[in-house]
Structure 1
Amino acid sequence: MSDSKPRDVQVLPIATNTKVLRARSWSRLRFEIEYALERGTTSNSYVIEGDKTAIIDPPVESFMKIYLEALQQTVNLKKLDYVILGHFSPNRIPTFKALLELAPQITFVCSLPAAGDLRAAFPDDNLNILPMRGKETLDLGKGHVLKFLPIPSPRWPAGLCTYDVQTQILYTDKIFGAHICGDDVFDDNWESFKEDQRYYFNCLMAPHAIHVEAALEKISDLQVRLYAVGHGPLVRTSLIALTQAYADWSKAQKLEHHHHHH
C-alpha cells in the first residue's frame, strides 16, 4: 500500500480536560513483523490539562514535526509541566530533545528504568525526572490525580501505565493496542478489527504472557472506563471483552509454552 494520504494528527477531546493527539500513518512504518497486516498505524499521545499540564507519550521521530505543530496549537508549551512516558525507546529521543528546546521547564515522569535511560540519553543535561515506583501519585489539580503502575517486561523494562482517578482513563501504552489506521478514534466497530488486536497481541505480548498477566492483575484493582492505548483505536466498547481475551490468550500462551519445553 502506498502513502495514499499524507500523515496527519487527529486532535480530539476524549474526557474532561483531556485530549488525544493521534499521529497517523496510513502505510506501514517499518518492516517489522508487527506491521505485516499493512493497515498502517497511529501513534497516540494524550494531553491532560488540570492546573498543571501533562502530556503522555510523545511519538517517535518520524512523527515529530507534525506532532509538535499539533501540540503547539493544543497547549501553551510554556505552561507544559510534565511529560509522562509509558515506555522508553531510543527513536523517541529526538522528540524529547525538540520538546526540551521548546519547553525547557518540563519534568519527565517515568518508571525507574526509564529514568536511567533518559539520563544516559542526555548525559550533559540536568533533566528534571520524577521516577514512579508505583506508590506515588501526581496531582495535576482539578481532580486529576494520577496513579502509576509499573509493568516491566523483557521487551519494555520501562513499562508504566498511568491512571487518572477523575476520568477513570487508564493510559496503557503498549497494552490493548492495534496497528490500524482510520478515522475512528474509538473502538466502537471493534468487530471489524478483532484480528488486528489478536495479531498485535501475538506479535508483541505473547512472548511475555506471564508479564501480561501480572499487568492485568494490577489493572483489575482499578475502575476503568477507557483504555487510552498507544496505538490504534481507544478501547471503550470492547473493554471487557478485550481484557478477558488478553487473559485467555496469555493463559493459552503459557500452556503452549509449557508443552514445548517439557
Structure 2
Amino acid sequence: MAKGTLNLRKARILVTNDDGIHAPGLKILQKLAKTLSDDVWVVAPETEQSATSHSLTLRRPLRERRLGAKRFSVDGTPTDCVLIAKHQIMRDCPPDIVLSGINDGGNLGEDVTYSGTVAATMEAALLGFRAIAFSQQRQPDGSVRWKVAEQYLADIVRKLVAMPWSKDLLVNVNFPAVAPESVTGIEVCRQGRRDQGTTVTEGEDPSGRRFVWIGGYQADDSRDEDTDLAVTARGGISVTPLHLDLTHRDTMKRMRGIFG
C-alpha cells in the first residue's frame, strides 16, 4: 500500500551511511537534514563499512555509543545501524524517513548490489520507512567535492516526499563530479550496467607471496542513455527508484508452464 505525502517540518529523520560516523559526507547530510526538520537523528557505523552490502552482524554482540544529542555510533554495518536505531535507540520514536550517505564516490549500476549506503535504505524499506540513498561521484584525481550535493539534495528530498510512496520502495540518488553551475538537470532513470566489470589485479608482496586484489571498475561506461551511469556521465543528477522485490515475473510465468 502506498503512503501519503510527508510533512518534512514535522518529520523525524534518521541519517546513516557506510563511510562511518566521522565521514565528511555524513556531516554534510546531517546539516542538510536539519534544514528540513528539527528532529534529526544520526546512527552510523563506528568505522568504514563500504561494500558491506546488506550484511548483518550475527555472531558477536554489537555496541552503540552516544556521541551527543541524537547522535550515535554502532560497531557494525549500515544494516545493523538501521535495525538498532529502529528497535533500540529510536524505539519510542521511529523515523518517518531514512537518509543514507552522502557516500564518498558514486553508487551506480552494479554498485547498488555491493553498496552499504544503498543497503541501509534497503533495510529501512523492509522496516516500512521511506528511504533515500545519496552518493557523490569523485573527481578524476580521486578527490570529492560536495557542492552539487549541498545545493541540490534538500530540494530533491522535498520533491520525493511530496509524492505517494509505495511499499518496499527506496530511491538511489547520484550527484555528478561537476560544478553546480554545470549540472545538466535532474533525471529519473533506471539502474545501469557497466560495459566492463570489476577488475582483479595480481601482484607479489615484499616477501614474495602472491596476492590478488579486487579493484575498481574500468569506467562508468554504458551504451544505454537512460541509465544512472549515462546521466551522471553527461553531468546530470540521477534519481533511480529501486524495489525490494527481485522476482523476475516473465520467467516465473514460463517456469509455471514447465513445472505445471
TM-score, normalising length from structure 1?
0.30
Bigger fraction of residues in helix: 1
| TM-score of the superposed pair, with normalisation by structure 2 | 0.30
